[in-house]
């Protein structure tokens, strides 16, 4: 995610498995996808499960997210969240008060961990070109 003043301005995801790779990128209102074996990008319908829904929203936020009261830890706080029925935890740094990690547990029991780091400059995102 690329944040500007705390709002999600752009987002990119690259998922890899031994037999395939899927790349998703959005820098505006549309999300584009490219899968293994394809040389072009496809615009996803806004109703697609793969479309990013959080552009323009404050981070961290997902549509319909609920956040419970913080629990003190030795290094900060943990906030239990539920986003689209998926439980997770936001780990908050006690000194900076910034989110440092988001952990989600999928319905299948797999854990997804997102690390949050301040960067000196915005990363280069994939360019969705050429388009199919």
Domain ranges of the chain: 2-115
Q: What is the pLDDT of residue 63?
A: 65
Q: What is the pLDDT of residue 107?
A: 84
Q: What is the mean pLDDT of residues 1-9?
A: 84
- Residues of 54-82 as b/e, b for ≥16 C-beta within 10 angstroms? bbeeebbbbeebeeeeeeeeeebebbebe
Bridge partners (DSSP) of residue 102 are 90, 114
Give this prediction's pTM: 0.69
- Percent of the chain at pLDDT exceeding 90: 45
Q: What is the pLDDT of residue 65?
A: 81
Q: What is the pLDDT of residue 80?
A: 93
> Tens digit of pLDDT for each residue in 39-98?
999 999 999 989 998 888 887 766 678 889 999 999 999 999 987 788 899 999 999 888
Give the mean pLDDT of the chain.
88
Q: What is the mean pLDDT of residues 29-47?
A: 93
- Do 67 and 75 touch, CB atoms closer than 8 A? no
pLDDT reading at 123 higher than 80? no
Q: Which residue shows structure tokens 């999300």?
A: 31
């Amino acid at each position: 995610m690329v944040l500007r003043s705390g709002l999600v301005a752009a987002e990119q995801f690259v998922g890899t498995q031994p037999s395939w790779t899927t790349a998703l990128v959005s820098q505006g209102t549309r999300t584009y996808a490219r899968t293994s074996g394809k040389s072009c990008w496809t615009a996803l319908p806004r109703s697609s499960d793969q479309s990013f829904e959080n552009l323009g929203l404050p981070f961290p936020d997902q549509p319909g997210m609920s956040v419970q009261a913080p629990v003190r830890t030795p290094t900060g706080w943990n906030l239990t969240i539920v986003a689209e029925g998926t439980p997770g935890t936001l780990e908050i740094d006690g000194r900076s008060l910034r989110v440092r990690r988001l952990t989600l547990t999928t319905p299948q029991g797999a854990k997804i961990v997102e690390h949050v780091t301040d960067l000196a400059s915005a990363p280069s995102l994939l360019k969705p070109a050429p388009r199919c």
